[in-house]
Amino acid sequence: MATMQAAATAPTGKRSSMARRRQVIGFLFVLPAALFMLVFFIFPLLMTVWMSLHDWPLLGTPEFTGLANYITMVQDRQFWSSVLFTTQYTVLVTIPIFLLAFVLALLVNLPLRGVGIFRTGYFIPVVIGLGTSSLLWVWLLNDRVGIFNTILVNLGLADKPIVWFAQKYTALLAIVISVVWKTVGFTMILLLSGMQAIPDEIYQAAMVDGATYWGRLVHITMPLLRRTFALALVLSVIGSYLAFDQFYIMTRGGPKNETITTVYWIFNNSFVYFKMGYGASLSLVLLVILTLLSAAQLRILRDDTTY
Amino acid sequence: MQRIGQFVLAIALIAALLLSACTAPAAAPAAPAGEAAAPAGDTAAAGGVTMSFWTRDSNQAQVRQLVDAWNESHDNKIEITVIPSGEYMTKVGASAAGGSGPDIIAVDLIYVPQFAAAGQLADITESAKSLSYFDKLSPSHVRLATYEGKIYALPFNAEGSILLWNKGLFKEAGLDPEKGPTSWTEIAADAAKITALGDDKYGFYFAGSCAGCNAFTFAPLIWANGGDVLSEDGATATLTDPSVAAALDFYRQLWADGQMPAGAQVDTGTDFFNAFASGKIGMTGSGAFAISQLKNDYPDIDFGVTFLPGQNDGQSSFAGGDSIGIPSGSKYAKEAFEFIEWLTTEDVQLEQYAKSNSLPIRTDLAENEYFASDPRLTTAAQAMAMGKTPYSLVYNQLFNDANGPWLKMIQTAIFDGNVEQAVQDGQDEFTKIMAEN
C-alpha cells in the first residue's frame, strides 16, 4: 500500500525522501511480527527439515542419512494407518460438531432474555484444557464409578457397565462425544459472530417479500455464513488432524493400537523410541498434508461474491 | 530499485536472525562457565563448589530431604533441579546436545545402558569398585550400570515389585488372612473364593493396558518360574520360553473365569494402585511404594506383602528405581562422586532412606531397625535385592511402549485368549526391534 501511494505522489525529491521514511516506519511496525514468525516458525521449520535428514537419536551424535527417513516412512504401515485413522476421526468428529454448533448458534442467536447464560454455558468446556477434560471423561466413562454406566444400567439400556475403551468403535465413540462436548462451543461462537454480522436489512427485506423462517435460513443465513463456515471448518479439521492428548490419555492408542493418531505416532517415534530425525520427517509430511487439505477447503468454500 | 533494497534488507535480517539463532546453542555452554565462576567466588567464602543435580519428580520429597542433609554437612553444595518424569529424557537429551547438562544426574535404571552406550556418562569403575560395600549394592542396578565391562552409575533409589493381599477380604472369604499365596495355583484358588463373595469384589487385579506396570509385576512371575524374557546379555529375545506362555495362561485363566473386574482390560495405569486401595480387590501385583501409601492414606485396609511367585514355587521381583551417575561433561566429577559415595553409606541409607520408609539400595541393609516394626517393608527390600531387570538398549521400545510388543503380547494372550499366537508375535517383534537398533 505504502509503495503504491508513494509512487503515485512522489514527483519531487523531498516527497520521495518522505515516502522512504514512511516505508522504514512501516517496516519497523511489521518487524516484531516478522521476527516472531522467524524465531518461532521459520527457524524451527528449517531445523525440522534439517533433522529429518538425519538419524538423530535423543542421546548421542546425529548422523546425516539423506532421504533415508522418508524411504522408511513409505514402508511404515503404522504411519499410514494412523493417517487413515486420523482422517476417519476427523470426519466423525467434524460432522457432529458442525451440525450441533449450527443449531446451538441459531438458538443462542434468538433475541430471548437470559440467552447469554446459554452462550456462556455452551462455551465453558472450551476453556478447560484438553488434558483435563480427557481425564474427566475417563472417570465419567469408568465401568465401576462412572456416571454414564450407572445411568445406562439403571435405565435398562445396558445389562452391565460398558467398558468403553475395550473396543475400537466404542472407544472412538467415547472420544468423539468428549471432543464434541469440549469444542462445539468454539464453533458455535464463530458461527454466531458470523450470523450477527449479517445486516438486519436483508432479513427485513426478505420478510417484506414474504420469506418464511426456513426461507431466510436457507437463502440468507447459510450463504452469507460461507466465509465463517470456511474458517471454522479449516480450524476444526486442522485441530482434529493434530489430535493427540485425548487419545494419549483416554485410550493410549488401544485397544491393540487401533486408535493411534498421526501425532501420537510422531510422539512415539520421537519420545518413546527416541528417533528424533524420523519424528521430524513424519511431522513434515503431516504439515504438507494439512497445508493441502486447508488449501482445498478454502478453495471449495471460496466466496467471490461481494455484498 | 526500492523493492530490491527492501528485499536485500529483509534477506539480511533473516540471515542475521538465523545466525543468532544458530549461535544460541553454542552460547549455552557459556552459561555453565558463568555458573562455575560464581561458585569460584563462593569457594573463597565457604571453601566449596556448587554442583547441579537433575532428578525426576518421583520420590521428590525423599530426594530433597537427602540433598538438604548433604548441604547441611558439606562445603560442596548441591543445587537440585526436579523435572517431571514424562519430560525427563527429552530435557536430558536436549541438554546433552547443547552441552549444558548437570554435574550429577539420576535416571531410571533401565536407561543407564543407553546413556552409557551413547557416551553420556563418565566411567566410574575404579571409584565404584573401591567402595568396601560394592558387592552389597543392588545387583540389578549395578548390572544395568555396567556397559562393556565398565561401570557408569550406582544405585540411587530402589523399588521392588511385590504381591499385595487384602487380609480383610481373605478373612471374609474364609481364608487364612495371615498367609499370603506362594504359587499361581494358590493365587487362583484364593481369588476364586474372594470373587465368590460378590458385591463387586474380585480376587485379582492387573492394569491390562499399562505396559510399564506389567514389566514391573508380570515379568517377575516368569522369572520366579525359572524363565526369562531376554537372554542374560540382553541381545536375544526369549519369549518362546515355556514359562512366558505359562504365566500368560495363568492370567488368561483368571480373566476368563471372571476373577478380575472388566475395567482391568482398559486400565492404562490410572487404577494400578487405586484398584487395590478401593478395598475390593483380593490380590494384586504392586511395589514397595504402595506400602507407605496404603498405610498413610488408607489406614482401614489391612494388607499383607509377599513375593511374586512362580507356578508351584519360586519367587522373584522387578528391581526398579533410579541410578545416579556423572555426565561426561560434568565440571566436578570428583566432588560429584563424593556425594554418590556419601549417599550409599550405611548411615545415610538408614537415616535418610529406611527411616522415611524408602528401600535401602544395599542388600545388607534390607533388614534394619526402622523396618523391624513393619516386616512388610523388609519383604519389599528383600524382593528388590533378589529382583531382576531386563538389560536392553531399547528397553523403552520393548517394554514401556503402550503400543509396543510387550503389552500387545499380554493383551492378545489374556483378552483374546490366544497365548500361542501372542508369544510368537511377541518374539518376532522383539527380535525385529532389537535387530533394527
- In tens, the pLDDT along A200-209 reads 999 999 999 9
Q: Is the predicted pLDDT of residue A84 greater than 70, yes or no? A: yes
Residues contacting residue B312 through CB under 8 Å, at least 6 positions apart: B183, B184, B185
Q: How far apart are CA B243 and CA B308, in angstroms?
A: 14
Q: How far apart are CA A161 and CA A66, in angstroms?
A: 52
Q: How far apart are CA B246 and CA B249, in angstroms?
A: 5
Task: Kindly determine whether residue A60 and residue B119, on different chains, have CB atoms separated by under 8 Å.
Answer: yes
Q: With the C-alpha atoms ordered A259, A260, A264, A270, is the resulting torsion angle positive or negative?
A: positive
Task: Kindly determine whether residue A255 and residue B411, on different chains, have CB atoms separated by under 8 Å.
Answer: yes
- Chain B interface includes A77 (CB < 8 A): no
Which of A58, A140, A163, A175 is the best mutation test for B, with the most CBs of B within 10 A?
A58
Mean pLDDT calculated for residue range B243-248: 98
Nearest-CA distance B351 → chain A (Å): 36
Mean pLDDT calculated for residue range B299-321: 96
Task: Kindly determine whether residue A143 and residue B270, on different chains, have CB atoms separated by under 8 Å.
Answer: no
Q: How far apart are CA B140 and CA B317, in angstroms?
A: 11
Residues contacting residue A264 through CB under 8 Å, at least 6 positions apart: A82, A244, A247, A248, A253
Q: Is the predicted pLDDT of residue B219 greater than 80, yes or no? A: yes
Nearest-CA distance A256 → chain B (Å): 6
- Chain A interface includes B95 (CB < 8 A): no
Tell me what ipTM this predicted complex has.
Answer: 0.79
Nearest-CA distance A100 → chain B (Å): 30
Task: Kindly determine whether residue A142 and residue B13, on different chains, have CB atoms separated by under 8 Å.
Answer: no
Q: Is the predicted pLDDT of residue B198 greater than 80, yes or no? A: yes
- Per DSSP bridges, beta strands B303-306 and B153-166 are antiparallel
Q: Is the predicted pLDDT of residue B310 greater than 90, yes or no? A: yes
Nearest-CA distance A180 → chain B (Å): 22
- Residue A23 grid coordinates: 516505508
User: Tens of pLDDT along A226-248?
Assistant: 989 999 999 999 999 999 999 99
Note the pTM of the prediction, 2 decimals: 0.84
Question: What pLDDT was estimated at residue A307?
Answer: 56
Q: Which residues of B touch A82 (CB under 8 A)?
A: none
Count CB-CB contacts under 10 A for residue A70.
16
Q: Is the predicted pLDDT of residue A216 greater than 50, yes or no? A: yes
Task: Kindly determine whether residue A268 and residue B403, on different chains, have CB atoms separated by under 8 Å.
Answer: yes
User: Backbone phi, then psi, for A65, in 5-degree steps?
Assistant: -130, 15
Q: Is the predicted pLDDT of residue B410 greater than 60, yes or no? A: yes
- At B142, the amino acid letter reads V
When pLDDT is cut at 50, 70 and 90, the band that residue B321 belongs to is very high
When pLDDT is cut at 50, 70 and 90, the band that residue A4 belongs to is very low
Question: What pLDDT was estimated at residue B61?
Answer: 85
Question: What pLDDT was estimated at residue B123?
Answer: 96
- Nearest residue to A81 via CA among A253, A239, A237, A251: A253
**Whole-number mean pLDDT of chain B?**
89
- Count of positions (residues) in chain B: 437
Residues contacting residue A107 through CB under 8 Å, at least 6 positions apart: A118
Q: Of the candidates B14, B118, B397, which has its C-beta nearest A273's C-beta?
A: B397
- Residue A271 grid coordinates: 519420545
Task: Kindly determine whether residue B402 and residue A254, on different chains, have CB atoms separated by under 8 Å.
Answer: yes
Q: Which residues of B touch A166 (CB under 8 A)?
A: 262, 265-266, 415
Task: Kindly determine whether residue A23 and residue B6, on different chains, have CB atoms separated by under 8 Å.
Answer: yes
* Cα A105–chain centre separation: 19
The CA-atom distances, in angstroms, between B277 and each of B171, B270, B297, B300 are 17, 12, 9, 10
Mean pLDDT calculated for residue range B48-74: 92
Mean pLDDT calculated for residue range B342-352: 96
Q: Is the predicted pLDDT of residue B26 greater than 60, yes or no? A: no
Q: Write out chain B in H/E/C secondary structure.
A: CHHHHHHHHHHHHHHHHHHHHHHHHHHCCHHHHHHHHHHHHHHHHHCCCEEEEEEECCCHHHHHHHHHHHHHHCCCEEEEEEECHHHHHHHHHHHHHHCCCCCEEEEEHHHHHHHHHCCCECCCHHHHHCCCCHHHECHHHHHHCEECCEECEEEEEEEEEEEEEEHHHHHHCCCCCCCCCCCHHHHHHHHHHHHCCCCCCEEEECCCCCHHHHHHHCHHHHHHCCCCCECCCCCCECCCCHHHHHHHHHHHHHHHCCCCCHHHHHCCCCCCCHHHHCCCEEEEEEEHHHHHHHHHHCCCCCEEEECEECCCCCEECEEEEEEEECECCCCCHHHHHHHHHHHCCHHHHHHHHHHHCCECCEHHHCCCCCCCCCHHHHHHHHHHHHCECCCCCCHHHHHHCCCCHHHHHHHHHHHCCCHHHHHHHHHHHHHHHHHHC
Question: What pLDDT was estimated at residue A14?
Answer: 67
Q: Which residues of B touch A268 (CB under 8 A)?
A: 401, 403
Question: What pLDDT was estimated at residue B106?
Answer: 96
- Residue B264 grid coordinates: 482391568
- Chain B interface includes A20 (CB < 8 A): yes
Cβ atoms of residues B258 and B170 within 8 Å: no
User: Tens of pLDDT along B73-107?
Assistant: 999 999 999 999 888 988 888 887 777 889 999 99
Find the closest chain B residue to A264 by CA distance: B403
Mean pLDDT calculated for residue range B209-220: 96
Q: Is the predicted pLDDT of residue A58 greater than 90, yes or no? A: no
Question: What pLDDT was estimated at residue A305?
Answer: 66
Question: What pLDDT was estimated at residue A12?
Answer: 57
The pairs formed by B346-353 with CB atoms below 8 angstroms and a separation of 24 or more are B346/B133, B348/B66, B348/B69, B351/B69, B352/B62, B352/B65, B352/B66, B352/B69, B353/B62, B353/B157
Question: What pLDDT was estimated at residue B6?
Answer: 53
Q: Which residues 98-157 of A have a C-beta within 8 angstroms of B? A: 138, 142-144
Find the closest chain A residue to B410 by CA distance: A256
Q: How far apart are CA B75 and CA B81, in angstroms?
A: 19
Q: Of the candidates B6, B115, B400, which has its C-beta nearest A59's C-beta?
A: B115
When pLDDT is cut at 50, 70 and 90, the band that residue B237 belongs to is very high
Task: Kindly determine whether residue B263 and residue A255, on different chains, have CB atoms separated by under 8 Å.
Answer: no
Mean pLDDT calculated for residue range B157-185: 97
User: Tens of pLDDT along B268-279?
Assistant: 998 999 999 999
Q: How far apart are CA B289 and CA B267, in angstroms?
A: 19
- Nearest residue to B77 via CA among B29, B41, B33, B28: B41
Task: Kindly determine whether residue A273 and residue B200, on different chains, have CB atoms separated by under 8 Å.
Answer: no
Q: Is the predicted pLDDT of residue A225 greater than 70, yes or no? A: yes
Mean pLDDT calculated for residue range B306-318: 97
Q: Write out chain A in H/E/C secondary structure.
A: CHHHHHHHCCCCHHHHHHHHHHHHHHHHHHHHHHHHHHHHHHHHHHHHHHHHCEECECCCCCEECCCHHHHHHHCCHHHHHHHHHHHHHHHHHHHHHHHHHHHHHHHHCCCCCCHHHHHHHHHHHHHCCHHHHHHHHHHHCCCCCCHHHHHHHHCCCCCCCCCHHHCHHHHHHHHHHHHHHHHHHHHHHHHHHHHHCCCHHHHHHHHHCCCCHHHHHHHHHHHHCHHHHHHHHHHHHHHHHCCCHHHHHHCCCCCCCCCCCHHHHHHHHHHHCCEHHHHHHHHHHHHHHHHHHHHHHHHHCCCCCCC
Q: Which residues of A touch B14 (CB under 8 A)?
A: 38, 42
When pLDDT is cut at 50, 70 and 90, the band that residue A143 belongs to is confident
Task: Kindly determine whether residue A256 and residue B209, on different chains, have CB atoms separated by under 8 Å.
Answer: no
Mean pLDDT calculated for residue range A76-102: 96
The angle formed by the CA atoms of residues B123, B126 and B129, to the nearest 5 degrees, is 115
Q: With the C-alpha atoms ordered A66, A67, A69, A71, is the resulting torsion angle positive or negative?
A: negative
Q: Is the predicted pLDDT of residue A280 greater than 80, yes or no? A: yes
Count CB-CB contacts under 10 A for residue B381.
26
Q: Of the candidates A42, A59, A257, which has its C-beta nearest B120's C-beta?
A: A59
Cβ atoms of residues B394 and B437 within 8 Å: yes
B160 forms beta bridges with B319
- Nearest residue to B406 via CA among B269, B241, B268, B218: B218
- Residue B241 grid coordinates: 520360553
Question: What pLDDT was estimated at residue A3?
Answer: 46
Q: How far apart are CA B63 and CA B51, in angstroms?
A: 15
Min mean pLDDT across B1-5, B228-232, B386-390 is at B1-5
Task: Kindly determine whether residue A143 and residue B263, on different chains, have CB atoms separated by under 8 Å.
Answer: yes
- At A99, the amino acid letter reads L
